[in-house]
Amino acid sequence: MADLETNFTGIRCPNPFWLASGPPTNSGEQVMRAFDAGWGGAVWKTIGEPIVNVSSRYSSVDWNGQRMMGLNNIELISDRSIDTNLREIAEVKKRFPHHAVIASLMVDSTREAWQSIVKRTEDAGADGLELNFGCPHGMSERGMGSAVGQVPEYACMITGWVKEVARTPVLVKLTPNITDIRMAARAARRGGADALSAINTINSITGIDLDTLTPRPNVGGLSSHGGYCGPAVKPIALHLVQQIASDPEVGIPISGIGGIAGWREAAEFILLGCGTVQVCTAAMHYGFRIVEDMIDGLANWMDEKGFRTVEDFRGLAVPRITEWQHLDLNYRIVARINRDTCIGCDLCYVACWDGAHQCIHLDKPAGPAAITVTPVAKAEALRATGGPTPTARIPRVDEAECVGCNLCWLVCPVENCITMVKIETGAPPQSWAQRTGA
């Protein structure tokens, strides 16, 4: 049976699923309900000198019927006092001693301010500290958040101040709003960081109301850039996590953040080297109980793969990512279409001719090769394409012209109707670097 118990830089917790710093961790009452639901840890909503937030605060991008594919927020750090937050941290740790409580911190960029809040937070019982060097809006205009994370020298300096007095592990939360995230990661390590959290939200404007002409969210006729998160940012987060995990000059643990909504995304982040994963948008959208499926799903997948602990598969995907110049130019795949399951929607044909390499053709075979479009297939085609079922033409791949780009496979609405098949060329593997001697 899979064992999800996690030891992240000395911080022990029942599983690697943490709530990320944000609205779901704004109070002790919320964090305790989350722990009751099954979450292994929580990163407290960022604590600092309390601020005044605006109304409204959130906007989103919806896509193809899915609400909140991407969420934008202009909410700042905690609007509650430091004393209130620390008192509730102490209460949570008293009731849940075996769960991870990480305090996210952000204060003015002075040694005195940072060391004071570090001491007070650890005295309250926090298991670790997350230095918020990533917030891209509001606080950055005040010289905090991403204003620190975008300058490696500042990130190193402040991390060093914290490490002078910290008794618990120190995580540095990195901003993606930077040319090369590895520079900030290396700086955090030079400052003594025990681990990294990546990524924070991405600068964004999600849309403009075409009636009022005001970008969303609307605050009295004005708006501002905010932090983008949710499923839409997962590909960017995975890329940046991989950049950190594969950098020999970093070499410290990573807590992964960005678009994690289920166990599959969690497994992807762990495969790229993360020891824990943090979730915010999905909890805001669906509630705390989503962790139940995350725990069951990850454990079942681990059992199927023969992994007993998270450490057994952490980072296994990192060596499989390389620079383009090292990819095998002689590796070849082609598309093949299953005539028995094809519904004749022509999406693969249109995509190939208008957006790819013109290797799919529409034949109208006679006799036994002709297909019969059944009522079920017609209904499926109507549902998938929104249009009428075409005639009994069926797509054919000219394999000599197919470049194996995957586009037809990606657009096909019928699962496993199109497969990408490896073709043996007889040529030995050869990369661009080998071919050119680079």
DSSP 100-115: EEEEEE---SSHHHHH
pLDDT in tens, 308-331: 999 999 999 999 999 999 999 999
Angle, vertex CA 170, rays to CA 47 and CA 42, nearest 5: 55
CB 170 within 8 A of CB 128: yes
| Catalytic machinery residues | 135
Look at the pTM and tell me if it is higher than 0.85: yes
CATH number for the region 6-320 comes to: 3.20.20.70
**Quick check: 387 pLDDT over 90?**
no
CB 47 within 8 A of CB 77: yes
DSSP 313-361: TTTTTGGG---GGGSBTT--EEEEE-TTT-----HHHHHHHHHS-S-EE
**Quick check: 135 pLDDT over 70?**
yes
DSSP 179-192: S-HHHHHHHHHHTT
H-type alpha helices, 59-173: 82-95, 111-123, 146-149, 152-165
Domain range summary for the chain, segments of one domain joined by +: 6-320, 324-422
Q: Which residues of 363-388 are buried (b: 16+ CB within 10 A; e: fewer)?
A: eeeeeeeeeebeeebeebbeeebeee
Count Cβ atoms within 10 A of the Cβ of residue 320 and give its class: 0-12 exposed, 13-18 middle, 19 or more buried. Answer: exposed
Q: For the domain with range 324-422, which CATH number is right: 3.40.50.300, 3.40.50.2300, 3.30.70.20, 3.50.50.60?
A: 3.30.70.20
State residue 228 phi and psi, 5-degree precision: -100, 135
pLDDT in tens, 219-237: 999 999 999 999 999 999 9
**Quick check: 283 pLDDT over 80?**
yes
Q: How far is CA 140 from the centre of its chain?
A: 22
